[in-house]
Structure 1
Amino acid sequence: MNIVQRIEHWGDTHHPAWMDLVRIGLGVLLFVKGISFISDTTRLSELMNGLHFDLWSVMAVHIVAFAHLFGGFLIALGTLTRLACLIQIPILIVAVFFINLRQGFSYLNSELWLSVLVLGLVITFAIVGSGRLSMDEWAKNHDR
C-alpha cells in the first residue's frame, strides 16, 4: 500500500457526515464563482493584467472559469472529488498569493478571506475525499 492509497483509506474512514454538506456547499460556491467569472470577464481580465501575463490573460480567464464550473459541479456531486480538488489548488494558490494579497491584507478584503477559506477546504477534501453522500459512494454500492 503506497502513500496515496494510505491517504485515501484514512480519508474514507475519517469522514463525518456533516462534511458532506460542507463539500456540497463548496462545490456550489465554486460553480457560482465560475458563473460570475463568465458573466464579468472584464473584471477578471483586469485582475489578471496586474500579473503581466498579457497574451495569456484571456486564456487564463477562460481556464479558471471552466475549472471552477466543472470542478465545482464535480465536487458538489461528489464525483472524482479528489481530482477536482487537486485541479482547483493551483488556481486558488494564485488567487490567494498573487491576486488578492496585492489588494491588501485587511478584514475589508473579503475576496482574500474567501479564497483562503476555499483553498483550505479544497485541500481538506483532496485528502478526505467525497464521503457517504456522494455519487462515488452510490456507484460503489450499486456496482454489485
Structure 2
Amino acid sequence: MYNVKSLNKWANAHTSYPLDALRIALGVFLFITGVLFIKNSQAVADVVSQLSNFDGGMFAFHYVAAAHIMGGIMIVFGLLTRWAIIAQLPILVCAVALNFIVEMSVRNLLFSSIALIICVFFLFYGSGKHSADYYFKMQK
C-alpha cells in the first residue's frame, strides 16, 4: 500500500497534459480494438482454430472483448486505471506472443507491443492528476 501511495504522489507531482493525452489515446485505442474484435469475430475464430489444442476459446473471446471495451472506457476517464491495465496485460502479452506462434503480422506486432509498453508505463504511473481517480480522492 505504501508503494502505491508513493507512486501516486510522484505521478501527481509530475503530471502533464501530454501524458493525459497518451492515457486517453491508449483507452480509445483499446476501446476501438475491442469493438473491432467483436466485429471481426470470424477472423478471430480463424486465428484461434490454428491453435488446435486451445480450450476455452469462447471464454477468451468474451474476456478480450469485455476487457478491451470496459478497460478502454475506464482508462479514458482515469477510473481505476491500474486495475483496468492489469486486465489488459495478459491480453497484450498473448497478442505479442501470437505473432510468433501464428502467421507473423508486423503491423499487429507493432501495435500490440506499443500498447503493452504504454500499459506497463501507466501501471506504474497511474492515472495522473487529471483523472476521475484524483477527483474522487480529493472529494473525501
Give the TM-score band, short-chain normalised: 0.7 to 0.9
| Aligned position for 1:127 | 124
Regions of 4+ moved over 4 Å? none
Q: How does 1:1-144 map to 2 (within 5 A)?
A: 2-97=2-97, 99-102=98-101, 103-104=103-104, 109-141=106-138, 143-144=139-140
What's the offset of the Cα at 1:19? 0.4
Secondary structure in 1 aligned to 2:120?
A: helix
Distance apart, 1:40 and its partner CA: 1.4
Report if the CA contact (8 A) 2:29-2:72 is conserved.
yes
Q: What is the aligned length?
A: 139
Q: CA RMSD in A?
A: 1.9
Provide structure 1 residue ranges, at least 5 long, that are not aligned to the other structure.
none
In structure 2, how many angstroms separate the alpha carbons of the residues matched to 1:51 and 1:6?
43
Identity of aligned residues (%): 34
Distance 1:47 1:81 in 2: 29
Offset of 1:54 from its aligned partner?
4.1
Partners of 1:95 and 1:115 within 8 A in 2 = yes
TM-score w.r.t. the length of structure 1 is: 0.86
TM-score normalised by length of structure 2: 0.88
CA distance in 2, matches of 1:124, 1:109: 22
Per-residue CA distance 1:50-78 (angstroms, 9 max, x = gap): 33354411221111011000100100111
8 Å Cα contact 1:17/1:132 also seen in 2: no
Q: CA deviation at 1:86?
A: 1.1
